[in-house]
Structure 1
Amino acid sequence: MREVVTRNEVFDRLYAEGRAAVLARRHGQDVPPEDGGRWPVTVVCIPHPSTRTTLERWMEEVCELAGPGHFLTGRSDASHVTIRALETYRDAAHPEQAASRAWASAMRTAADGTAPLLVRLTGVTLTSGSVMAQLEPVGDAPWVFMERLREALGEHAWFEDQWDGRDIWYVNILHFAAPIADPEGLVAWVGARRQVDAEEVRLDSASLVRYRYESSAAGRLMAMEPWCSAPFRSRGAATT
């Protein structure tokens, strides 16, 4: 069984790279998606409302430093834990298409017999394109679910199979999509929160979602359009 990590070298590396990019004003800037690009149909887990409230509060503090125009990924109706992306962005994607039905079936198969997942919210890091909340799995169950989903997808796992497997759990709270108003202030804010008192997060289900770009007086974001959900069902308690 894997121990809960108290210091994660992957998050440390991302912070070093993100800090350098932000201070040099070389950070990435997201754009509304086009076919073949980012933000495809994805399997995610949606945290409980209490966790989403924490993430939204952090996002609001970050926005004071980052300025306007960024994607508000940490909004309570948008925050999510990405489990697996399934293709590139496709505007025509629809839940009744054959591929979508296969994805949904695989997600249900993987969720069935999986106990609710436990992770811990341990702090914040910076990447070259986002501000990211750090999650650390409790035990092996979250990793096992990821692998069960991959196996259930079969040939439909092709998209992420092009790269090495995921090695961190996280929730992005802001995707950069404009110049950062106060780079030094943003770096200092993240640096002061690299480690916080850990908060346990229970993930009770997986969801198949697509994203749609929205821009309004409330801000810009890639809004989630939920297609279906699969509860984690097991006779045991949350696996540790």
Structure 2
Amino acid sequence: MHFLKLQLVAIGDSGFFFIFLFGIIIFLILSQVYNKKNKMLRKLKEHSFKKIPLCKENEYIKIKGKALSIAKPLISPIGKRECLYYKIQIEEKRSNGKSSSWRTIINEEKFQDFILESEGNKAIINTEISKKNKITYLNQDIEYTSGTWKDAPVFLEKLLQSHGRESTGFLGFNKSIRYKEGAIEIGEKITILGIGKWKESDHNFDRYSSKTLYVSGDSERKLIITDLSKITESKR
């Protein structure tokens, strides 16, 4: 015990500071390695882009191209744009003593099956599968805020109310809220990684074949969908 005390004295305050700093650095590195975006990027880098006609049955294939609609497009709730897939995240700033943090109060995700056109060929992307079988990472390119000196627009107030929320709190004072949206718009360039299966179809994408490539995912080989330009502009 006496030896341990001597060791602690030898380390001193500066030693503890460097140990603490080292721990913070390790935490930040691990956070980057294991966050959703980086896990997705690593998985995509494991595969090369492939042309749709060359896909084998049950192959895990990576393709890029333009997203096109099959049915009537969705209308995103914040950007009010026609799209095939959207995600919104609404956060409220909460205070706790001297500190404050953002807390997610609404997460909404809607989607539909759509066409991916790549180099003149087309495939159907099956998005209507279990949430655990897909990973979607969309660029949050629309953002609004409301707060003390800025009222929420009427359409955002209605959006909050549709989820049982409101932009004002005690005595009618505005809450600090931020609203984010990502969407796959019609004609947007995206990248897909998923399991390809050839099925009989009435879409007639190929004049020489009655089969269409359907791309989906399962618990082991997840369907990945992203509109990140870093991926869609890559040649590999």
Pairwise same-fold verdict (TM > 0.5): no
Give 1 or 2: higher helix fraction. Answer: 1
Kindly indicate whether structure 1 or structure 2 has the higher relative contact order, using CA contacts under 8 Å at least 6 residues apart: 1
TM range (shorter): under 0.3
Give 1 or 2: higher strand fraction. Answer: 2
| TM superposition score normalised by structure 2 | 0.26
